[in-house]
Amino acid sequence: MAPLVPFLPQGETYRVVLIHRDIDEVVASQASMLKRLERQGSGLHVAQLNPLLEQQLARAVALCQAHQVPVLVVEHLQALRDPAAVAVQLVEFLGQPLDQAAMAAAVDSAPHRKRACVK
């Protein structure tokens, strides 16, 4: 979703929660999805795609900073491993009384099939 940040309407107040996932995992996941859907991707080699995705992410963060939009970066793997801790971070960042237990319980690590490395 990072490429869509430049298209957020001006004049609104935002807080952006960015889930950062290992780029190799993103590419592998997208390739798997495209194969399953029998669709073609961009045709770019992984060596070309990885820097492009990193640039999109950096651009989104830079735009948020330029417009003084608060950004919370959450590591994807941390959200899977410790959803309760991430729920606490989200509640603090958003400043809203949210149900942390329900947020943590909603995390399902089962779809996390494409890992660059297992820790």
Q: Locate 15 and state its tokens.
A: 């807080």
Task: Please report which confidence band the pLDDT of residue 17 belongs to, taking 50, 70 and 90 as the band edges.
Answer: very high
Per residue in 25-66, pLDDT (tens digit) is 877 777 777 788 777 766 666 677 778 878 888 888 898 888
The torsion angle over the Cα atoms of residues 10, 14, 20 and 21, rounded to 10 degrees, is: -70
CB-hemisphere CA count at 13 Å for 45?
Answer: 2
Residue-level pLDDT at 46: 67
Per residue in 76-111, pLDDT (tens digit) is 999 999 999 999 999 999 999 999 999 999 998 776
Residue-level pLDDT at 27: 74
Instruction: Indicate the domain borders of the chain.
Output: 16-105
